Amino acid sequence: MDKNKHLVFMYGTLKSGEANHKQLFAKGADGSVFLGHARTVSRFPLIVTTPFNIPFLLHKEGLGHRIKGELYLIDDETLKHIDWFEGHPHWYERRQIKAELLTDSLGNKLDKPETLQVWLYGLSR
């Protein structure tokens, strides 16, 4: 993979159809490419009922559920923007995990899920 491109797993308000999805394209229409639907290989706690209706994941690997989300290939500038938007590393922390790509970008189920190393934003506290 191009060293200036990054695989990022989105599970909350940055997913398509959600309020903050536009942030993936804030630095240009070609800064982010949807690759398909995915889920985490490990389990994580996902909190979905908050006062502001903002879901968040806790970096407590092994607890909770395998999280379903979307996988994007983003460029350096978009990664820097999403880091800023998520408050990395002072609020959300971006960490590498393994996720399985389950569909292609059109939603077609893959014959065999592809396991990939991806970035994931979550809270450690």
Give residue 1's pLDDT: 65
CB-based contact 54:20 (threshold 8 Å):
no
The pLDDT, as a whole number, for residue 54 is 74
For the 5-122 domain, the top CATH level (class) is alpha beta
Sequence ranges of the domains in the chain: 5-122
pLDDT of residue 3: 75
**Phi/psi of residue 75, each to 5°?**
-85, 175
Mean pLDDT across the stretch 49-77? Answer: 89
Per-residue pLDDT, 52? 66
pLDDT digits (tens, 9 = 90+) for 86-102: 999 999 999 999 999 99
Do the Cβ atoms of 28 and 71 come closer than 8 Å?
no
- 4 or 32: whose pLDDT is higher? 32
Query: Exactly one of 86, 93, 100, 114 is catalytic; which is it?
Result: 86
Reported confidence tier of residue 50, pLDDT bands at 50, 70, 90: low
Q: Would residue 93 show up in a list of annotated catalytic residues for this protein?
A: no
β strands within the chain, DSSP E = 5-10, 32-44, 46-47, 56-57, 65-75, 93-103, 109-122
